[in-house]
Amino acid sequence: MAKTIIRIILLLLSFLVLLGATLFIVLRWDSIPAEVPTEFGGAGRPEDYQTKSSLWGMLIVGWLFSAALAVIGRVPALWKKNGGFVRVSRLRIGGVTIGPNWLNMDLMSLLVALLFSYLSICSALCRPLGAWFLPVFFGVLLFSFLVPSLLLGSEE
């Protein structure tokens, strides 16, 4: 029961984050500059600009990746060791197997939603991401994969 509630909360958060970013773009469309940053360097500063319609591509990719991770997390046969189409490696550390499980996939779905929403909003506002963005993003990505694996183990 608790697993189902956690999964619903994570899925709902992913949906709300992406919906919020999409609504932000729709409601502010007229005030968004004609060209917005679409590529950012390691320090979080814009390096390339495109037309503001490129924001839709960023949001669509965010929606698709987030949905794909949510679906893969709910259909373990897709990523199980034998029989799934996704090849997955597992690491064994001190008797604990680190590999994919439902919580990894749901957390990564939320992380992808947050990533693409933040990128879209920063681009729409023509703001840099900040030098903190890359290290924090990779730290959260590592957290979303390792900690749930250590708590739950991998689902084989």
Q: What's the per-residue H, E or C state across 104-155?
A: HHHHHHHHHHHHHHHHHHHHHCCCCCCCCHHHHHHHHHHHHHHHHHHHHCCC
pLDDT digits (tens, 9 = 90+) for 116-156: 999 999 999 999 998 899 898 888 877 776 766 555 555 54
Ranges 3-7, 71-75, 80-84, 127-131: which has the least confidence: 80-84
Say if residue 96's pLDDT is above 70: no
pTM: 0.79
pLDDT tens digit string along 41-70?
A: 888 899 999 999 999 999 999 999 999 888
Count, residues in the chain: 156
pLDDT above 90 as % of the chain:
44
